[in-house]
Amino acid sequence: MELFIDSADVGELREAMASGLIDGVTTNPSLIAKSGRKMGEAIAEICEIVPGPVSAEAVATDVDGMLAEGRYLAGIADNVVVKLPLTENGLRATRTLADEGVKVNVTLCFSSVQAMLAAKAGAYFISPFIGRLDDAGVTGMDLISEIRQIYDNYHFETKILAASIRTTAHVRDAALIGADCATIPPKTFAALYKHILTDTGLEAFLKDWKSTGQSIL
């Protein structure tokens, strides 16, 4: 599974990249606003830090505006993936940009039929929002299962990028279902390393080792 970090904070991204485990980054207008940076500058710096796909979201809602913003964002660096919302205009712009060779991440996906349309429009990634469905009282992970089945049934190549991840269990379940990627907030990524038995086991090993009085080197 490819692991992406969902953040526009370059400090957080540098730290996550040091793990050697991160394949890409996703941002959205809210994350850019939180960073306090200008979109173009922030995306350019993130693309220098991260060699993998970096999703940068257009904010226009009409097709021409999406195309203009999408082309601008795609021109910032070779690894930019243009993010467009799952609206009728978003999918029209997706088709055009995909035909131009631009990778598009179709975002704000909340149903499997939406995901099917995005695949037909040539989306490179589809971003189903698990946590926001959970918040609304629906089991978000069911959406990942449905999309996996539909994409497999028809051999769609669009990658499923599980988004709006809130917990380590979300990452586990998305991986078990076969989502291609997950985009994870930095805190949740850090939590993936953790298990109480790892901590207590290591503590016991180190205590026993100390009692030997040895040193390896």
Interface ranges with ligand E4P (CB under 6 A): 6, 26, 28, 107, 127, 129, 131-132, 163-164, 183
Between 97 and 163, name the residue whose CB sits nearer to ligand E4P.
163
Inter-residue long-range contacts of 102-111, CB under 8 Å, 24+ positions, other chains counted: 102/70, 102/71, 102/74, 103/53, 104/70, 105/26, 105/53, 105/55, 105/81, 105/161, 107/28, 107/55, 107/57, 107/83, 107/163, 109/143, 109/147, 110/86, 110/143, 111/143
Between 136 and 202, name the residue whose CB sits nearer to ligand E4P.
136
Q: Is 210 a catalytic residue?
A: no
C-beta nearest to ligand E4P: residue: 164
Rounded Cα distance, 134 and 118, in Å:
22
Reduced to 3 states (helix: H, G, I; strand: E, B; else coil), residue 104 is: strand
Between 59 and 202, name the residue whose CB sits nearer to ligand E4P.
59
| Minimal distance, residue 6 CB to ligand E4P, in Å | 5
Rounded Cα distance, 4 and 157, in Å:
19
| Minimal distance, residue 205 CB to ligand E4P, in Å | 37
Query: Sign (positive/negative) of CA torsion 78, 84, 86, 88?
Result: negative
> Out of 34, 38, 83, 187, which one is annotated catalytic?
83
| Minimal distance, residue 183 CB to ligand E4P, in Å | 5
Between 54 and 74, name the residue whose CB sits nearer to ligand E4P.
54
| Minimal distance, residue 24 CB to ligand E4P, in Å | 11
Tell me the chain's radius of gyration from C-alpha atoms: 20
Catalytic (active-site) positions: 83
